[in-house]
Chains A and B, each alone.
Chain A
């Protein structure tokens, strides 16, 4: 059974304080690992897809990396508008995503 565990469950940062979110996974034959951002009362919004170990992708203050067992979402010099829940999901060969429970990020000014 595919499993995704995200840590920490919640993270509080000061504006400008860089940190990382972790997504550990077990899956038989990873086709892709996805990161989504979810604001309160809204649906998840796509951020990145990573396909193979060693791959990295960046978008503004966010950088996602992937190994064979986990993915990290690095947040550099975060701003209050980066506050959201960040979701990780893995896609096995059948295409059905398994989501983690999310990390709630709060950035204080």
Chain B
């Protein structure tokens, strides 16, 4: 079972460049999430989606955009990359929202130089 798949695994961007982090899940989960993880800090929620066509902001949405055109895919778009966006990004999914465990992808390590 593939679960949650993220691509790419590593990426280096120059300041001002844009890119899309891809995330797909094959568990037919309604809920999908994007988190970032910085050293010594807890995972921070960027955006989440409760189903196709519905997205909402998390704790740290500035500088990012998302879309959810299908149940399976939840890409994260970085516009005008900044050094502060250097982080490890995790996509996750869950069947429900409350009291439901999250299934995480293996992460994308992004450096903005």
Q: CB within 8 Å of B: which residues of A?
A: 4, 9, 31-32, 34, 36, 41-46, 49, 51, 87, 89, 91, 95-102
Contacts and interface: CB of A to CB of B under 8 A. Distances in A.
B14 interface: no
B107 interface: yes
A44 B42 contact: no
A89 B94 CA distance: 15
A92 to B, nearest CB: 10
Size bracket, chain B contacts: 20 to 34
Given A43-B92, A101-B40, A49 B101 contact: yes
B41 interface: yes
Interface of B: 4, 40-45, 48, 58-59, 90, 92, 97-99, 101-107
B106 A43 contact: yes
A45 B90 CA distance: 12
A95 B94 CA distance: 12
B99 A98 contact: no
A87 B90 contact: no
B107 A34 contact: no
B43 A45 contact: no
A44 B99 contact: no
B102 A96 contact: no
A91 B40 contact: no
Given A43-B90, A44-B90, A31 B98 contact: yes
